[in-house]
Structure 1
Amino acid sequence: MLKRAFIPLALLVLVGCATKPVAPPKPNLVDGNGLPPTAVINHLAQRIVTELVKQNDALRPDQPIVVTTPVLVGDMSSTNAVALQLQQGLMASLHSFQFNVVELNLGDGLRVTGDGDFILTRDWQKLSTNLPVDHIVVSTMSPTTNGLAINTRIVTLSNNRVVSASQTFVTQKELSNYMQPSEQIISHDGILYRQSAPGMNEVRVLGDEK
C-alpha cells in the first residue's frame, strides 16, 4: 500500500509566498504629472498645438510659420522661464504635425569660437531680414493664484487675421520646478504688502523679480 505524503501547511504557505511575483518599484515622481519639469511643458505644448490644429481654418502645412516667445498679458513684452521653454515645445509640436516651422533665431553666419560653434542668436542685427513667413504663433500668459492661463493664436501677418486659437491652463503644482505660490509678504511698486496667508496673490515664476 502506498503511503500518503503529508506536507506541512506552513511549508505550503512559504512556497506560495516565494513564488508570488514581486511588483516593480514605483518610479520616483518629480512633480504632479510624474514627469520631469521640461517634459511637463512639452506635454503642455502638445495640448496647445493639438487644439490649434483642430481649430485651424486656413493655414496649410506647407506654409512657413514662426513661433514667437509667449508674453505676459499685462504689458505684452515681459516673459519668463516657462514662456521660453514653452516656445521651444510649441516649435517641436508643430513640426511633429508636419507644419513648415521657421527658426527665427538663426543668425546670418556661423560663429566659430573657443567656447563652441554657434549660429543661433537673439541679436536682431544678426538675424536674417528676408524671411518668407506670412503666419506667426503668438501667446499670452495670465498668472493666477494657482497657475497660468495661456492663450495661443496663429495669426496671418498680411491682414492680422486669427486662423486658429487655443486656451489652456497649467497649475503651479504641475510646474512646481518653475512656479511657486506667492509669498505672504510681497513687493509691488516699491511697497511691501502683507497677506493673511501665502498663496493669496499670483504665482511667482522662478527667476521673476517680483
Structure 2
Amino acid sequence: MTLSRHSSALPPAGRHELILGGAKSGKSRTAELRAAAWLAAAPGREATLIATALAGDEEMAERIRRHQAERAARVDALRTVEAPLDLPGALRIHAHPERLLVVDCLTLWLTQCLLPPAGDGLDKAGWAACEAQLLAALRDSASPVVLVSNEIGLGVMPMSREARACVDALGLLHQRVAALCERVTLMVASCELRVKGAQ
C-alpha cells in the first residue's frame, strides 16, 4: 500500500474507484480532485456529482448547502444531480464515455434505503435487489465512476439491531463495489492510502 497526499490521478475511462474514509477524512475533497483532473485532461469532458443526501433536519440542510457552495468554489464545472434513492437509475441515465460520475455518498444512500426518516425501509430481499441494481449499473457503466463512502466498521458495534444490520450491509456493499473498482483508496487525515490498484 502506498501513502500519498492529495494525488489527483484518475484511472482510465471506464474504470472505477472507491474512496473510503471516516468523517472529515478528506474523501469528498479527494473525489473532487479526481473530477478536476478528469476535466483538465482533455477538452470536451464533463463531470457530474450524484448527490445522495436528504435534508432530514435544518442542520443537515445547512450542511448540504455548505457542501454545495464549497464544491462550486473548488470545481465550478462539476454539475450536480440529486439521487437520494434511485442511485442505480442515476448512474445509468448519466453515464457517458466522456463524463466522470462522482457518487457522494454510498453511506447516505444505503441508510436512506434501510432506515428512512419516515416509514419502513427495504426488507432483506428489497435491499438485495437494490444492491444488485447498483452493481449492475457499475459493471455496465460507460463512465468512469468515483464512489465515496464512510468506513464505519472500525468502531464500536452499535447497540440497536437496525444499526448493526446497516453496518453489516455497508461493509458487504463496500466489498462488492471494491471488486468492481480498479482502485480503492482509504483516506486518513486527508492523506491517501492506496488499498487496491496502481499509484
TM-score, normalisation: structure 2: 0.28
* Structure ID, larger Rg: 1
Per the normalisation by structure 1, the TM-score is 0.27
More strand by share: 1
